[in-house]
Structure 1
Amino acid sequence: MTTTTALPKLLRLTDPGLREQLQALPASAALIGIGTDGRAIAVDIDAAPHILVCSGAGGGSTTILRTLTAQFLHQGAHALVLDTTRISHLWAKDLPTVTHRGNVAGIHDALVGLASEFQRRIDLDGDLDDVPRLMVVIDRADATLRQLARYWETFRQEDDPKKSPAVAALEDVLHEGRAARIHVIYDGLAVAGGLDPGAREQFSTVILARVSTGIWQRLAPIDGPAPKSSAHPGRVHVVKDGDAHPTQALLMTDAEAADWLTATAAGEI
C-alpha cells in the first residue's frame, strides 16, 4: 500500500485552482480528495451509485457528507437530507433544491414519499434527461433506521408489513436507484440499522476514517492489515474497485457550502 507521506496537509475549497478542478468534473462525479500520488480521488455515481461513509469519533463523516452533497447540488442535483441531530446540516435548510427533515415522523414521511417518486421516475422508462438527480443523504443512518423501525411499530396494524415502509423504500432505492437517478450517501456501518444484506452490498464506494480493525475488515475486505488511523483532519481511505486509496479529503465548512451554493443559484459561478 502506498504510504501517506505525500498527502496534502489540508484540502479546502479556497485552495488555488480547486474550484476549477471541481468544475471540470462531470455532473455525475464529486471529488472526495487527493491521493498519495497527487491525483484526484473522485466518485462517479453513474458507475458507483451509492456511497457509504463510516468514521470513528471525530473522523469527519458529517463534513464528508456535506462536501459531497454540496458538489452534487452545485452540478444541478436535488437532495433529501435526513438529519436526526437537526443541526448537522443546517447549511442546507434554506436551499431551494434541498428538502431537510430532522424528526423521525418527518423522515418516515419523506422516505415513504421517496417510494412514490422512485416509481414515478421508473415509469418514465429511461426518459430522465430533464429530471434532476436526487441525492438521499442520511447522517447517523444506522440510528435513524432503528428509530424508524420503532416509530413504525407505534402505529403498525396487524395486516401491515413488519418492516417499516420507510426502510423498505430506502432498500428499493439502494437496489434500483441508479435507473431512476436517485443515489444514497449513507453515514454509518449499514450493518446494524435494519438494511437487508442485499441492500448493504450496493455501496460501491466506501470512505473510512478512524475505524477499528474489526470495522475495517467488515467494510474493506482487502488483503493486508488495516491501516493505522490518523488524527489528522480529513485523512481517510477510499475503498473502491478492490483497492484502498489513502486520501486527504476535501473539507468544506457550513458557511463555505452555503455561500458556494447560493452563488451558484444566483448564477455567479
Structure 2
Amino acid sequence: MKKTALLTMLSFAAPDLREQIEAMPEGTALIGISTDGRAIAVDLDTCPHVLVCTSTGGGSTTVLRSLTAQFLHQGAHALVLESKRISHLWARGLPTVTHRGNVASIHDALVGLGEELARRLALTDTELDAAPRLIVSMDSANGTLHHLTRYWEKFRGNDDPRMSPAVSAIEAALYTGRAARVHVILDGTPSSSVLGAAPREMFGTVILARVTTTTWQRLAPLAGPAPKPNRLPGRSHVIQEDEAHETQAIWMTDADVVTWLTDPEDHTA
C-alpha cells in the first residue's frame, strides 16, 4: 500500500481534524493518521483495552490524554491514575473524572473499581446499556503497580489475600471489563508476574513508539520485524489484529482538553 508523507504534528486544532474526531461513533476514538492516509482508531466494543508503550519522550502521556478525552466527550466517565501527579493536570476538577495521584488514593480508587465492576456485572443488559462507559487510564503503570504491591504488603493481614486488591481490580477489569463497559488504557509494560498473563493477550490495540527490538517482539510478535525508531514527536506504530500501522498520533494539549470538555461549542482550542 502506497505511503504518504505525514505531518510532523497532528494538532487537535488542525483544519477538519476536530470535526473528524467528533464524528466518531460512540465508543470509538481516533488515535491518528497512518502513512497510507487511513484514520487509525480504537473501537472499545471490539478492542476493549489499549496498551501504550514508549520510551521517554515517545508521547505515551499525550496518547492517554487524547483517547481518554475523546471518550469523555462521548459521555464516558474516567478514573485517571498517575503517580507522577503532574502528567494529567487537565483531569482535575472535571465532573466526570476521578483523578488520583498518591499510592494510597490510587489503591482506594482501584478497590472501588473492583466493587463497581462487580456491581455492573450484576446488571441486566438494559441497565448496563444505560450506564456510562468507565475508562481507567493509568500512566506509568509499571511503577504504579509495583508501588501498589509494596503498599499492600505493609498493611496486609494474615487472613488477607497475597495479591493487592488494587492490582486484582485492574486484572479483573482487563479480563471482564468488556462485559461491564469498563475499559483500561494503560501506559507501560506490566509483567506477567504482576497481572498474571502476557500483556499482548489482554490488549486488542497496542501502541508502540521508540521501543527496543526486545520490547517489540514481546508486545507485537506477529506484526513483523521491529521498525527503526522514529524520533518525530507523536510518531508511533499501532498494532491491531497483528498488523502494524505507522501512525502520527493526535497532539491534544491540557488546554485543548479542558476547553473542549467544559465548553464544547468553543472552536478556538
**Structure-1 separation of matches of 2:156 and 2:199:** 23
- Give the aligned residue type for 2:22: Q
Cα deviation, residue 225, structure 1:
2.0
Match in the other structure for 2:218:
218
SS at match of 1:154: helix
- Spell out the pairing of 1:1-269 with structure 2 (5 A cutoff): 6-127=5-126, 128-191=128-191, 194-197=194-197, 201-222=201-222, 224-264=224-264
- Give the aligned residue type for 2:169: A
Report Cα offsets for 1:26-57 as digits up to 9, x if no partner.
11100000011211000000100000000011
Where does the alignment leave 5 or more consecutive residues of structure 1 unmatched? Answer: none
Taking structure 2 as the reference length, the TM-score comes to 0.95
SS at match of 1:68: helix
Contact 1:144 1:193 in 2 (8 A): no
**Structure-1 separation of matches of 2:237 and 2:95:** 33
Cα deviation, residue 223, structure 1:
5.2
Contact 1:145 1:194 in 2 (8 A): yes
**Structure-1 separation of matches of 2:48 and 2:73:** 18
- Give the aligned residue type for 1:134: L
- Give the aligned residue type for 1:94: G
Taking structure 1 as the reference length, the TM-score comes to 0.95
**Structure-1 separation of matches of 2:207 and 2:69:** 17
Change in Cα spacing, 1:9 to 1:42, as seen in structure 2 (3 Å) is same
Q: Give me the identity figure in percent.
A: 61
Q: Deviation above 6 Å: which 4+ runs of structure 1?
A: none
Change in Cα spacing, 1:20 to 1:101, as seen in structure 2 (3 Å) is same
Contact 2:10 2:249 in 1 (8 A): yes
Change in Cα spacing, 1:199 to 1:55, as seen in structure 2 (3 Å) is closer
Change in Cα spacing, 1:66 to 1:129, as seen in structure 2 (3 Å) is same
Aligned-residue RMSD, C-alpha = 1.6
- Give the aligned residue type for 1:44: D
- Give the aligned residue type for 2:185: I
Cα deviation, residue 200, structure 1:
5.8
Contact 2:4 2:37 in 1 (8 A): no
**Structure-2 separation of matches of 1:97 and 1:83:** 17
